[in-house]
Amino acid sequence: MKLAIAIVFVVASLPLSYAQSEQGSKAQEMYYRPPNGKCDFGTAYTTADYVTGACPFAFNHNKIILSNEPLDNSGLFLLRYDAANWRDDDKDATMLCFPNNTVIYSLTQMADNITKANFEGDGFYYLKENLDTVADGVENLASPGFFYAKDGIVDALLDASTGAWNYTNAEGPNYLNLCDLMGESEPIVPSPSPSSVTNPPSSAHKCTHWQSIAMVIQVAAFFASLQ
């Protein structure tokens, strides 16, 4: 799934040092930087995206899909996954690990070649220069850019004929600008306990963002066929 600005909580009555401490603490709940460039949840990636045109540098956005299941007959799906992101030219120093993400999503076919996508939860969104756009009035996202939303609500329209995304909504207080974070190499924060998942998906493959969402659609159709 295709998938700001570092989180800032402005509390006028609190000292700046406290606000900065709270900001850092919240960000550490979302991700960590492993000291050896390896995330605790391993490297058995289900999707492996090599991305250019979103940040000033090329980067990798890889996911381990833990589960992807329909929610009753509502047309909604619940996706659970781990994710790793790093600059292609400096993996060990820029690795960002995002364990235990959960998002509820739906994909609705609209007019010819247009798919409406709705995401609620933890998601990654990379917007490529001269391709992806953000509707007027939408905050938290910008093109070009690469963002992570924790407990966010994001709506977008995908034009399958061009692979272009138009983001029409991006709500929620917790967005991270991952271009900025991958441009840094410090600080290294303690790693959380290894994931309890013992059955990660199989080998990874390189794919574009459209191929990635197409895979999600195919998986969604598979689960729907089991109902």
Please give the single-letter amino acid code of residue 159: D
Q: What is the domain partition of the chain in residue ranges? A: 16-225
Does this model's pTM top 0.95? My answer is no
Higher pLDDT, 94 or 10: 94
What pLDDT digit, counting tens, does each position of 154-165 carry? 999 999 999 999
Neighbours of 40 (CB within 10 A): 14
Residues 6+ apart with CB under 8 A from 28: 189
What pLDDT digit, counting tens, does each position of 67-111 carry? 999 998 889 999 999 999 999 999 999 999 999 999 999 999 998
Residue 183 in tokens: 């441009």
What separation in angstroms does the CA of 7 have from each of 10, 101, 138, 186? 10, 18, 17, 17
